[in-house]
């Protein structure tokens, strides 16, 4: 399993590198949109829909909202990201009370709150600089890898056993330690100061954990282990972008608040 995860990760990184730094910008933006729409298809699997036609309808709703923000009211992008941060704060509180019933209509709305803002955030980051988009993803991956390996080796105290029994507090601290190392390396080879970059990266890394737990709540409610099978050893798109969906909006807003952009 670990070998499969590593191979899949390396292939995904190679594809990401091509998308961010080699292909024309319109193709890169289309690729980002396509990933989010695949995520919408997977989220529709949490809705107890009776047919594929209903799942396609949900994907169409997400696509329409994405297109509206990008092409019709782009000036509302910041408000969408601010709404996302409010949602993720609510989701953080929610994790303390799970398991709780999640009505279908709530699942519909939460899918919008997860998918549309992350699309806006990723497009904004790509427009600012592919390097910023890469940094946001590296923060999430560093937190995830640190949590996985430290938690597997030293994990004892469960983080949220009713949501994700495998996650531990030792893993959380291991993940944040990896984020510290990443911030140190990024500051060394960029113009960003470590004293500014460190708390920013730690905040983004910590919030990424909330995204992971939140999507896991919906998967448990729907009775599925993985959102899909697109990535061998990892699951589906949502299994890969759950942490990104909470981290990316904060990352974009933080860049503006701190003047790092």
Predicted TM-score (pTM) of the model is 0.94
* pLDDT, position 236: 87
Dihedral sign computed on CA atoms, order 104, 109, 112, 114: negative
* pLDDT, position 249: 97
pLDDT, averaged per 10 consecutive residues of the chain (261 residues), comes to 69 86 94 96 92 94 97 96 97 95 95 97 95 94 93 94 94 97 93 90 96 95 82 77 96 88 67
Contacts of 186 (CB under 8 A, 6+ apart): 135, 138, 192, 197, 201
CA–CA distances in Å: residue 57 to residues 32, 63, 171:
20, 10, 39
* pLDDT, position 5: 66
Q: What angle do CA 202, 175, 6 make, to 5 degrees?
A: 130
The token duo for 243 is 């942490």
* pLDDT, position 144: 92
Q: State the Cα–Cα distance between residues 118 and 38, nearest whole angstrom.
A: 13
Q: Are 97 and 67 within 8 A, CB to CB?
A: no
């Amino acid at each position: 399993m670990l070998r499969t995860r590593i191979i899949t990760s390396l292939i995904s990184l190679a594809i990401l590198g091509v998308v961010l730094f080699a292909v024309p910008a319109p193709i890169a933006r289309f690729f980002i949109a396509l990933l989010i729409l695949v995520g919408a298809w997977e989220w529709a699997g949490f809705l107890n829909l009776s047919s594929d036609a209903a799942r396609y309808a949900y994907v169409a709703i997400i696509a329409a909202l994405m297109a509206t923000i990008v092409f019709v009211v782009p000036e509302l992008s910041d408000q969408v990201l601010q709404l996302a941060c409010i949602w993720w704060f609510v989701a953080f509180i929610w994790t303390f009370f799970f398991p709780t019933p999640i009505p279908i209509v709530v699942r519909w709305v939460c899918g919008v709150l997860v998918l549309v803002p992350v699309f806006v955030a990723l497009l904004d980051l790509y427009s600012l600089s592919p390097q910023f988009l890469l940094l946001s993803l590296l923060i999430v991956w560093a937190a995830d890898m640190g949590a996985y390996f430290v938690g597997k080796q030293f994990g004892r105290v469960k983080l949220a056993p009713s949501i994700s029994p495998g996650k531990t507090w030792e893993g959380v601290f291991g993940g944040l330690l990896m984020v510290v190392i990443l911030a140190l390396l990024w500051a060394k080879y960029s113009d960003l100061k470590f004293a500014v970059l460190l708390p920013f990266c730690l905040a983004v890394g910590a919030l990424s954990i909330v995204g992971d737990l939140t999507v896991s709540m919906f998967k448990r409610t729907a009775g599925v282990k993985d959102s899909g099978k697109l990535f061998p050893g990892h699951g589906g798109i949502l299994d890969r972008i759950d942490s990104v969906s909470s981290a990316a909006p904060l990352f974009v807003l933080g860049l503006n608040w701190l003047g790092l952009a």
